[in-house]
Structure 1
Amino acid sequence: MKKWARWQDWVAVVVGLYAALSPIWTATDTTATTVLIVLGVLTILAALSNLSQPGVRTTEWVEVAFGILMFISPWVMGFSGMTGVATTAWVVGAITIIVGAWAVPSAMKLHGSHHRPVSA
Structure 2
Amino acid sequence: MKKWTRWEDYVAGICGLYAALSVIWTKQTGASMALMLVFGILLIVAGVLNLSLPGTPWLEYVQCALGILLFVSPWIGRYYDLTGAAWTSWITGIIAAVVTAAAIKPAVDTQHRMRPSH
Offset of 1:83 from its aligned partner? Answer: 1.7
> What is the RMSD of the two structures over their aligned residues, measured on CA atoms?
1.2
Q: Structure 2 unaligned runs (5+)? A: 114-118
Q: Could you say which residue in structure 1 is the equivalent of 2:104? A: 104
TM-score, normalising length: structure 2: 0.92
Contact 1:28 1:82 in 2 (8 A): no
Bigger shift: residues 55-64 or 24-33 = 24-33
Offset of 1:30 from its aligned partner? Answer: 5.9
Q: Deviations over 1:61-89 (max 9, x none)?
A: 00000011011110121000142100000
What is the count of residue pairs matched by the alignment? 113
Q: Could you say which residue in structure 2 is the equivalent of 1:8? A: 8
Q: Structure 1 unaligned runs (5+)? A: 114-120
Contact 1:16 1:41 in 2 (8 A): yes
TM-score, normalising length: structure 1: 0.90
**Partners of 2:67 and 2:41 in 1: CA distance:** 12
Q: Which has the larger radius of gyration?
A: 1
Runs of 4+ in 1 over 3 A off after TM superposition: none
Contact 1:9 1:51 in 2 (8 A): yes
Q: Could you say which residue in structure 1 is the equivalent of 2:65? A: 65
